[in-house]
Structure 1
Amino acid sequence: MTSQLSKTLKPSQVPTIKTFRQYIVIWIGQILSLLGSSIVQFTMIWWITTETQSSMYLSFAAFLGFLPQIILSPFMGVLADKFDRQKIIIYSDLLQAAVTTIIIAGLMFNFMNYTLFFIILALRSVFQTVQSPSKAAIVSSMVPKDRLSRLNGIDYLLSSIVAIAGPAFAALLLKFFTFYQILFVDLITFVFALIPLLFLSIPKLESQPKSKQKKGIRDYFSKIKAGFDLLSSNRPFMILLFTASILNLFIMPFNTLLPYYVNVTNQGTEDELAILMGALKVGLLLGSLISTLKKEWKNKTRLTYFLLTLQFIGYLILSFSPSGMYPLMSSGLFIAGLTFPILNSTIITSMQQKIPQEYQGRIFSILISISGLISPLGIILSGTLENLVGVKLLWILSASIAFLFVQCIWLFTKVSKALDGDFKLP
């Protein structure tokens, strides 16, 4: 198998305590940058909601956020396996900061319009898509295997804390500052993410001699095909990915229409939206804490089934909550949020431990594409169906169908072998 690989880690670059410590420094910078992005994301969503008062505009904005992931992710995974991952992250961060600067200038000098705003949203998503496989792949190249599970749990823990703080800070800042002034937070926190990347070294993959390397577009597609071949050799895992894709379709109405539901349906303010999002993030925080404290789960697939079932029970509680009953809505979102970190940590850790390092960039990018393949459809349908049946009925139908779908998948397929068995190589 090794002789067929175009790239592999050098023996001297096997994860050590030194590379682990370097990764922690890089990781802290990324967490600070995530805080800025969380504040800005909330601010931009609220700006679209209050400016347009339209579920269709909100859905279209979310659609533009997902579209680049679907189109570009497989190719970005090949880039992550072929080129310097550190440079990919740095350049994409710089470009993302540049488009944020354009938004600030547009709002400051009054030349911002919806078309330009949506174009910039799409560009931000493009640059995030470019760097995502590289960020995911460098973890196992710098972190020893025996620390992966604990680190992933801590990562979700801190990310959840940031996700709670972001909307809360944004709601507070909106009372004192304009939209464009708040966007400067993104640029400030970006600097904290950039500095470690400039001064610390991320292990590089060792290339074959140039005479043995394939050139051109065929090389890209052959590498993408190799990633798909690896996944297709593991049918239960493919069923799990199919399940994730379908469930993404049913989650989209909740993710897309929550600001609209608060502001338009309930005549709420940014404070109520921050409360609901805060409840979701507190659930994420607790789930992350559980992932951090629990080193290893014995039966990962049964755990996944239980958590998916619990997740849609939470969404059902949100869906059936009477208008204005924010405490009950918050409890549903808390339950749903609790499940995400444990699910993600369990699945990602299993993949990082089983998939060869030289395949991880393209595999993670394929997973992003597959799991998000139906998301744009779900986003567009969210706005369309909301106009036909209203938010509450749409939410009730989405959560109910998803709940039943999870039960059927676990009763009538072999998905139970997805995470607890060995990962076969083609």
Structure 2
Amino acid sequence: MLKKKFYLISRLVSGLGNSLYGLVFIWWLQTQTESSFIVGIVNAIFSTTAALSIFYGPIIDSHSYKKTSIVAMIWQVGLTFTLTATITFFAHNYLWAILIAGTLSLCDEFFDPADRAILKGTLTKENEMTSMIAQINIVDQVVQIGGIALSGALLAFLTSGQIIFICACLSLLGLILLLVALDQVSSQDHEQVKKVSHTVTLANYWQQVISGYQYVRANSFLQRYFWSSLLFSFASPALILLLPRIAQKSGRPALYSTFYLFLMAGFILGALLAGKMNADTRIMAFSWILSVVPLILMLFFMTNMIAFVFLLFIFGIVTSIHNVLGEAKKQNVTENQYLARVLTTMRTGTEIGGPIASIVAGALLDRVGQQELIIVCVILIILGGINLLLVKPAD
């Protein structure tokens, strides 16, 4: 059985390392190259590895979920230590650092689906799954806040290489705790590997990739959630670009971090509330639609930063509720042997709009303005919520 306390502590420790790494590496790259274009390319690389998740599912499903999650963590630890050495001793050759960082971004794309599949195999009750997903979301948001606060403090008296070394040590500690947490979890994932004894080959690989999407299409909830997530994937990056723009326009740069802190605080409270709810599609759809209310109100409070921050907090609460319920529902309605392929297919839907939306949103902000961008996001989110209301009750 899964040792939940060790599992959550492992996620907290390794998540803090990942949060620190993401912020500090971008900072190092910006100061090393003095090129926003190169930083943009690296961000696009990270987005692309996530958007291509659908192609990783067959590989994950053909192996033990436990072994896949552990191997992905081992690679993450090794690559982070390698990145530390590269930044410390070969800082002038930043292309090697980018290559390592791009490879490193793949580790999460293999770890997360396998990790969620382990939860599906060890948590048998629906409400137990929702509660665990809520706890994971709380931990993830806490480490994001911790990473933001800690990175600024550490950069004041440590080099980027030294901080990334700390990240590597945190990843190593997270790996050790994960091994303890999964010690009593069967490496056969409840006989799943024996039942699905296929091997990924070039001959059947594409068929398995397509089978994940076919499974999603055959289930009313998964199909609707995929398209709603796709719409949201265009809205989310646009809203992220909006925050620094508003902070800059107000002439108070400190607002940028304040925006994020209140948004994440909303995510944490929303996850706490969602942990007490059932993964009901109607609740999910209505919370999805209700999340546009604070966005619409923002149109009238663009210069009132106290009200704007409060509305961000409310948006975080409602968005977190439908995210947690959606994550739990996806796992509850999916058969074990298809889980990784379904989760990676859904992740592709969640991430595919990122690179395009970032470019389009940037152009919109430069040409039309903040209010128009918010209106576009509101339309996309409402359409996604209405789409979820059309899920057939049987699913």
Question: What range is the shorter-chain TM-score in?
Answer: 0.7 to 0.9
Q: Which residue of 1 aligns with 2:209?
A: 224
1:102-147 Cα distance to aligned partner (Å, 9 max, x none): 4323332352455344333322211221222111211111123241
TM superposition shift of 1:305:
3.2
Matched, 1:371 2:356: no
Q: In 2, distance between residues paired with 1:365 and 1:91?
A: 18
Sort the Cα spacing of 1:409 and 1:358 in 2 relative to 1 into closer, same or farther, 3 A: closer
Q: How many residues align?
A: 389
User: Which letter does structure 2 place at the counterpart of 1:103?
Assistant: L
1:296-349 Cα distance to aligned partner (Å, 9 max, x none): 5583244343344246447757xx634xx7645533432332233211111111
Match of 1:348 among 304, 308, 327: 327
- Determine if contact 2:289/2:382 at 8 Å carries over to the other structure: no
- Determine if contact 2:295/2:378 at 8 Å carries over to the other structure: yes
Match of 2:273 among 268, 279, 290: 290
Q: In 1, distance between residues paired with 2:178 and 2:384?
A: 43
Q: Which residue of 1 aligns with 2:376?
A: 401
Unaligned ranges ≥5, structure 1: 1-18
TM superposition shift of 1:364:
0.3
Q: In 2, distance between residues paired with 1:122 and 1:228?
A: 26
Decide which moves more: 238-247 or 199-208.
199-208
Report the RMSD for the aligned CA atoms in angstroms: 3.2
Sort the Cα spacing of 1:86 and 1:236 in 2 relative to 1 into closer, same or farther, 3 A: closer
What does residue range 39-118 of structure 1 map to in structure 2 within 5 Å?
A: 39-48=20-29, 56-71=37-52, 73-109=53-89, 111-118=91-98
- Determine if contact 1:256/1:382 at 8 Å carries over to the other structure: yes
- Determine if contact 1:39/1:166 at 8 Å carries over to the other structure: yes
TM superposition shift of 1:57:
4.2
> Normalization by structure 1: what TM-score?
0.79
Q: Which residue of 1 aligns with 2:228?
A: 243
Sort the Cα spacing of 1:268 and 1:88 in 2 relative to 1 into closer, same or farther, 3 A: farther
Q: In 1, distance between residues paired with 2:201 and 2:342?
A: 20
TM superposition shift of 1:401:
1.0
Q: In 2, distance between residues paired with 1:156 and 1:379?
A: 24
What does residue range 164-203 of structure 1 map to in structure 2 within 5 Å?
A: 164-199=145-180, 200-203=183-186
- Determine if contact 2:17/2:167 at 8 Å carries over to the other structure: yes
User: Which letter does structure 1 place at the counterpart of 2:316?
Assistant: G
Matched residues, percent identical? 19
Q: In 2, distance between residues paired with 1:288 and 1:100?
A: 30
Unaligned ranges ≥5, structure 2: none
Sort the Cα spacing of 1:303 and 1:209 in 2 relative to 1 into closer, same or farther, 3 A: closer
Q: Which residue of 2 aligns with 1:9?
A: none
TM superposition shift of 1:82:
1.2
Secondary structure of the 1:299 match is: helix
1:202-224 Cα distance to aligned partner (Å, 9 max, x none): 332424489x7466223333333
TM superposition shift of 1:172:
1.7
